[in-house]
Amino acid sequence: DHSVCNQSDWWGSSAKTTMVCAGGESKSACHGDSGGPLNCKNRDGRWYVEGVTSFVDGRGCNNPQKPTMFTRVASFIPWISEVWQPMEDCVQP
C-alpha cells in the first residue's frame, strides 16, 4: 500500500506512485534479485507480472518496514507498447 510505504519511517519519498511495495519480514526479494518479477494471479486464475524488482533495504533482506520495492508494470504500458518490437524468432502468443 503506497500510503504505508511512503511514510517517513518506511521508504519515504523513495516510494513513488509508479511503484508497488510488497513483502515484509518473512517474504522479500534480496540483493541480486533486481529485475525479477512480482507475479500475481488475477481472478480468473491467470498469472501476470505486476512489478519488476527495483530495490531492497541496503542493510539486508526481510527487514521490518522495508518491503521490496517493485516498479509497477502497468505504469509503463504506454512506453512499453511504443518501444517494444517483436523479435522475428519469437513465437507470438
Tell me, yes or no, whether 51 lies in a domain.
yes
How many domains in the chain? Answer: 1
The answer as to whether 88 is a domain residue is no
The CATH number linked to 39 is: 2.40.10.10
Question: Structure pTM?
Answer: 0.82
CA distance 80 to 77: 5
Is 92 within the bounds of a domain? no
What is the spatial distance between Cα 91 and Cα 49, in angstroms, rounded to a whole number? 19
Neighbours of 21 (CB within 10 A): 21
What is the pLDDT, as a whole number, of residue 49? 95
pLDDT digits (tens, 9 = 90+) for 9-27: 899 999 999 999 988 667 7
Query: Phi first, then psi: what are they for 74, rounded to 5°?
Result: -60, -30
Tell me the residue range of the domain where 32 lies.
2-83
